[in-house]
Amino acid sequence: MKTFIFVSFFLIPVCSLAQGDSAIVRFHNPAAVAAPKGYSHIAAIDLGSCTMLIISGQMALDAAGNLVGKNDLAKQTEQVFLNLKTIITSADGSMNDIVKTGIYMRDVSQVQVFRDVRNKFINLKSPPASTLVEVSGLVRDDLLIEIEATAIIPKK
């Protein structure tokens, strides 16, 4: 008897999600985003007819690892969404494939600034599920926002 977990509308055998099973889970770091230290940008999970991307929290860093938009939430948010777009397109997906976002902001009173930028990147007719959390700090003091995402990309 196999144990199953429910993940975004799909039943997946728990034993199939082990990190060591490269046939099911592939970890990847696109060269067009800053190289991470100690983690992967993407965990791509083969679900048969589609691929699920679990995308690590993205920061306002360009491909060289330089901060974009010091003290500017709009510029930082735009860079974060550009990084998400780069990651998703590297897996043959589009921003319309995002099904869930997790947003971590230092100052939630600026949520409208965030929304104005976000709305240029997501499908407003069918927006993804989302969680927004105000945090007292992020991994670097100069970061104002971090966004993680999950995408489901149909295979062509």
Q: Where are the domains of the chain?
A: 4-154
Hey, what are 14's tokens? 């728990």
State the chain's mean pLDDT as an integer: 89
Alpha-carbon 48 to chain mean position: 21
Confidence band for 21, pLDDT divided at 50, 70 and 90: low
C-alpha to C-alpha distance for 20 and 18, rounded to whole angstroms:
5
- At 88, is the secondary structure helix, strand, or coil? helix
C-alpha to C-alpha distance for 52 and 40, rounded to whole angstroms:
15
Residue position matching structure tokens 């993205």: 58
pLDDT at site 11: 45
C-alpha to C-alpha distance for 60 and 13, rounded to whole angstroms:
35
* Nearby residues of 14 by Cβ (< 8 Å), 6 or more positions away: 2, 3, 4, 5
Q: Which CATH number fits domain 4-154: 3.10.110.10, 3.30.720.200, 3.30.1330.40, 1.20.1560.10?
A: 3.30.1330.40
C-alpha to C-alpha distance for 106 and 46, rounded to whole angstroms:
34
pLDDT at 13 over 50: no
Residue type, 30: P
Range 28-36 average pLDDT: 91
**Alpha-carbon dihedral 125, 129, 135, 140, rounded to 10 degrees:** -80
Confidence band for 2, pLDDT divided at 50, 70 and 90: very low
